[in-house]
Amino acid sequence: MADPAEGDEEPLPLFALRPAPAPTGIFIIPVSHHSPMNMPRSRTAILFIACIALPLIVGVAGSVFTVGSIAGWYVGLNKPVFTPPAWVFAPAWTVLYILMGCALFFVVKEGTGTSLARQGLILFFAQLALNFGWSLVFFGIHAVAAALAVLLLLIVLIAATTLVFRRISVPAAWLLVPYLVWCCFAASLNAGILLLN
C-alpha cells in the first residue's frame, strides 16, 4: 500500500502524546516512616529512656567518689557561708541529669545526620566526661585547685553545647540553662573552698 501523502496524515490524539504511567510498584522512591521526626512511639520511648539514663549513669559513676568523701574529707573542709547542706546535692544533681537527658532527647529526635547535630553531640559528651572528671578530681583525689580548673572548662563546654543545641532545638537549650547556672554556683563553692583551706 502506498504511503499516504504528508498532508493526509491525521494528527495523533492528545492522550497519545502523554507518557505512559509507570507500572505500579516500579520506580517508586521508598519513604521511610521511621525518620527521627516520625518515629514509632515504642522507639521514641526507648530513645527517651536511653537519653535520660545516660547522664544518670554518669552521675551514679561519679557518686562512687563522692559518697566516700562527703562524710570524712568534705565535712572537715572550711566552706563558704553560702554552701548548701550536703543533702541538697544528690537531689539537685539528679534533677539536672534528667534535664540534661531531656535536652539530649530533643536533639537526637531531630536527627543526627547533620554536621551541626554531630558537633552538638560531641560537645554534649565532652561536657559529660568532664562532669565525671570533676567528681574524680575533687572528691576522688581531693585536688581542689585542679577541680576548679576542670569545672571552669566544664562551664565553657556547657555554654558551647547550649548554643549549638539552640540551633537544633530551642527547648533543648533551655533545658541546659539550670545545669549551666548550677555549675557556675558550684565553681564559686569550689573557689571558696580553695581560698579557705
**pTM of the entire predicted model:** 0.78
Q: What is the CA radius of gyration of the chain?
A: 29
Per-residue pLDDT of the chain (197 residues; tens, 9 = 90+): 445 444 555 554 444 444 444 444 333 333 333 445 566 787 899 999 999 999 999 999 999 888 878 878 898 899 999 999 988 999 999 999 999 999 999 999 998 889 999 999 999 999 999 999 999 999 999 999 999 999 999 999 999 999 999 999 999 999 999 999 999 999 999 999 999 99
Helix (H, G, I), strand (E, B) or coil at 40: coil
